[in-house]
Structure formats: C-alpha cells, structure tokens
C-alpha cells in the first residue's frame, strides 16, 4: 500500500550535504524528512581516510558518516531508507517527491543533495567484468585484491587518492591517465609519487578490458598521441574518471550546465523556486565535504526565509 505525507522540507540524498541539512532543519524546528536509498553517508562510505575536514585531523569516512547521522538525529532528523524516483512541482507550488515504492512525500521546499554516480569508461569488457575485477570503489573492493597487480584509471583527486589507498593491498598499482599531468591536488600527487608501489602510465586510455570467467586479466591501452595499442596484465581495474550528477531526478525544467550539474543562486536555490541543491551535484569550483556542508547550511537558512515569505503556514500531516 502506498502512502502520502506532508512536510515543510524534503531532503533527497543522505551524504554530508543531506545530513547537514537535516541537522539544520531540526535546529530550525522544520518538519523535514531525509530520504536516502542506502545507508547515510554518501561518498563518505566509499572513502577510507578523511584528512581535510576541520576538527578531524584524520577520521575514517564511515566513522564521519556515523557521526554526522548521529548529530542530525540528535536534533530530531527523520532519516528514511527510500529510493527517490522523481521530484516534480505541482500546480499549487507543492513538490511531490515520489519513491520507487510509489510513496509520495509532499512539501513546499526540497533540497536535492543526491550526489552522483560514477562515470563509466564505456569500453568493451567494462560491464561484463563489473564486480569481477572492474570496480568504482577502492574502499569497498580493495581488500579482494591482496598481492595482485591493479590499474587505476583517471587523473583527478579520486584516482590519485584511491591509487595510493589500493597499495595497502596490491603488490603494484598502475595509474593510467590520458594526459601528461594530473589535475589532482599537489599534496595528493606528492604522496602518489613517493609511493614505490605506484607506476604512472601517461598519455594512455583504456580501450578494452579482457578477462576470463574468474575475472579481469588484462587491459588494452591506446597511446593518445600515436594511437599505438599495447596490453597491460592486471588482476583488476578501478575507474575514477568523475561522476554524473543525479540531477535527472528533477522532472521540471531547471537550469544546468553542459554536464548536468545544477545551477543555483547564492542561496542554493535552483531556477525552480523552492527547489534547492547542495553538494556534489551543484555547479561549483570544487566538491569537498566542507563545500557540501556549507551548501546545505546556506540552503536551510534560506528555506526558513523562503517558507516565511511564502506566507504559508508550514504544511503538516493531518493528525
């Protein structure tokens, strides 16, 4: 049986942005609900050590996720395991957030903080060997590759950081990048270059992933300058080439950039009044835990004002 409930605010996505929004909403005495399809924490759950969140010199991603969830609950956050399918504004200005179970959550304001999904290489073998040597999460799958030779694809913070992490388990890690310099932060690069288990393969792209029924055995590479093909024997490949924002959940017309990242104003409001975006799916210079929680803070404070200006008594579920 499906249900329908009314709230002041619906938060879609329970990563750092969503959990921070739930905490502020609780403190602001809003009737809010946070809908998250998995466990609270988002990308934190795919991160080993966090060393750039003020106040925590070094903390495991999953521990920080737990602390954020506990903190939000302390202020009354209502966190529910729900898989959101769509967000649509009705003619009366109320958002209808629908889940895959067919439940409807209604509110005059929504914060979309649903992050994104990893970008795929889109090469032969990637789908076939997914879960059998092709992975998008070093923390989740690294331990399955003890003493194996691995490859990491990408040149951003995630690739460089996770290649370093994978050397905890692997005997050797190749990092394959399509250019001759990384876009990752200098500190992460310094660590990578100091790690004797890592070898960088510059100016190459993966064109095919080959294997046997048990899993991945080799990669076919192509030189970006010459087009020459070569092979690289590996037991697994970890792909970190960015991610696609989950902005497709919005069914109304909204402003976004060419990659689908949501454009907001300085209050985090999207081009759809009452719909706010926070964290990794928003157009911004960088995507850090610190920026995600900053976005969420701004959004909730702005929403309190928005709800007042709307001269509308917060909608409550009938008793």
The pairing of strands 172-176 and 149-153 is: parallel
* Residue among 70, 140, 180, 257 flagged as catalytic: 140
Q: How many residues bind ligand NAP (CB under 6 A)?
A: 21
For residue 57, what is the DSSP state? Answer: S
From candidates 131, 286, 313, 318, binder to ligand NAP by CB under 6 A? 286
Q: Does 207 bind ligand NAP (CB under 6 A)?
A: no
Q: Does 45 bind ligand NAP (CB under 6 A)?
A: no
From candidates 63, 288, 294, 310, binder to ligand NAP by CB under 6 A? 288
Considering only CA atoms, which of 118, 236, 223 is closest in space to residue 166?
Answer: 236
Residue placing its CB nearer to ligand NAP in the complex, 52 or 252: 52
The pairing of strands 79-81 and 229-233 is: unpaired
End-to-end, the C-alpha distance of the chain in Å comes to 19
* Residue among 48, 63, 96, 141 flagged as catalytic: 141
Q: Does 156 bind ligand NAP (CB under 6 A)?
A: yes
Under rule CB under 6 A, which residues in 70-109 are in contact with ligand NAP? none
- Catalytic residue at 20? no
Under rule CB under 6 A, which residues in 161-190 are in contact with ligand NAP? 161, 178-179, 183
Q: Does 221 bind ligand NAP (CB under 6 A)?
A: no
The CA-based angle 310-261-84, given to 5 degrees, is 65
Whether residue 114 contacts residue 249, with contact meaning beta carbons closer than 8 Å, is answered with yes
Considering only CA atoms, which of 162, 186, 188, 157 is closest in space to residue 174?
Answer: 162
Q: Does 154 bind ligand NAP (CB under 6 A)?
A: yes
CA distance readout (Å), 186 to 55, 182, 302: 22, 9, 35
Q: Does 39 bind ligand NAP (CB under 6 A)?
A: no
**Surface-to-core class of residue 16, CB atoms within 10 Å of its CB (0-12 exposed, 13-18 middle, 19+ buried):** buried
Q: Does 215 bind ligand NAP (CB under 6 A)?
A: no
Rounded-to-integer distance, Cα 316 and Cα 314, Å: 6
- Catalytic residue at 137? yes
- Catalytic residue at 141? yes
For ligand NAP, which stretch binds (CB under 6 A), given 149-157, 222-230, 264-272, 308-316?
149-157
Whether residue 161 contacts residue 51, with contact meaning beta carbons closer than 8 Å, is answered with no
Residue 151: CB minimum distance to ligand NAP, A: 12
Catalytic positions:
137, 140-141
Residues that bind ligand NAP (CB under 6 A): 52, 121, 153-159, 161, 178-179, 183, 205, 240-243, 286-288
């Amino acid at each position: 049986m499906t249900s329908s409930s009314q709230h002041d605010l619906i938060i879609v996505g329970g990563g750092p942005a969503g959990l921070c929004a739930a905490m502020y909403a609780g403190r602001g005495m809003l009737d809010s609900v946070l809908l998250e399809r998995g466990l609270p924490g988002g990308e934190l759950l795919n991160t080993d050590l966090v060393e750039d969140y003020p106040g925590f010199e070094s903390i495991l991603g999953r521990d920080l996720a737990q602390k954020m969830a506990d903190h939000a609950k302390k202020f009354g956050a209502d966190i529910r395991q729900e898989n959101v399918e769509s967000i649509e504004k009705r003619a009366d200005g109320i958002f209808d957030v629908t889940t895959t179970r067919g439940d409807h959550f209604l509110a005059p304001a929504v914060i979309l903080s649903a992050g994104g999904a990893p970008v795929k290489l889109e090469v032969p073998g990637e789908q076939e060997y997914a879960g059998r040597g092709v992975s998008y999460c070093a923390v989740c799958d690294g331990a399955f590759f003890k003493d194996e030779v691995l490859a990491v694809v990408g040149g951003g913070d995630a690739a460089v950081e996770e290649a370093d992490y994978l050397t905890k388990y692997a005997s050797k890690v190749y990092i394959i990048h399509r250019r001759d310099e990384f876009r990752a932060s200098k500190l992460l690069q310094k660590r990578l270059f100091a790690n004797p288990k890592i070898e960088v393969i510059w100016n190459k792209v993966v064109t095919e992933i080959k294997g046997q029924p048990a899993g991945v055995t080799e990669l076919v590479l192509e030189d970006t300058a010459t087009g020459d093909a070569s092979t690289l024997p590996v037991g697994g490949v970890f792909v970190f080439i960015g991610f696609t924002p989950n902005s497709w959940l919005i069914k109304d017309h909204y402003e976004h950039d060419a990659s689908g990242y949501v454009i907001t104003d300085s209050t985090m409001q999207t081009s759809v009044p009452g719909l706010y975006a926070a964290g990794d799916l928003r157009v911004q210079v960088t995507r850090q835990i610190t920026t995600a929680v900053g976005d969420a803070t701004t959004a909730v404070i702005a929403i309190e004002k928005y709800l007042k200006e709307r001269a509308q008594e917060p909608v409550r579920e009938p008793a």
